[in-house]
Amino acid sequence: MKIFLAEDEAIIALSLQMDLEDMGAEVVGPFLSLEACMKSIDKVKFDAAILDIDLNGREVFPIAKKMAAQNIPFVFHTGRRHAETVSKKFPKAKVFTKPSSPKRMYMALQEMTG
């Protein structure tokens, strides 16, 4: 599975990337800003995504909306506790609060991609 990774904290991004690759995934990114995500989303091929909600003070929701419109599964990985609000906007997406198990996120994406 190819996973689009949007995470602005470099250490977390690298750790997630290594863990996902150890599980057999191919990681696209990581993308550290909303701008980098916007520039790349139409240029790269991927099956699913892990999206940090806050990318350097900007919400990732424009990317999530685009993915939802294209039926691309994604999960949110966030340091904030706003799962209820996010679940209302994106009912198909699961929300994982940092720190969260990369394995749990990967398994959720596998389930979502069928």
Nearest to 87 by CA among 55, 56, 64, 110: 64
- In this prediction, residue 84 carries a pLDDT of 76
- Please name each of the domains of the chain with its CATH number: 2-113 (3.40.50.2300)
Nearest to 21 by CA among 1, 44, 41: 1
pTM, two decimal places: 0.95
Q: What is the mean pLDDT of residues 36-65?
A: 95
For 58-112, the pLDDT digits (tens) are: 999 999 999 999 999 999 999 876 667 888 899 999 999 888 999 999 999 999 9
- In this prediction, residue 12 carries a pLDDT of 95
Mean pLDDT of all residues belonging to the chain: 94
Q: What is the mean pLDDT of residues 49-57?
A: 95
What amino acid is encoded at 35 in this protein? Answer: E
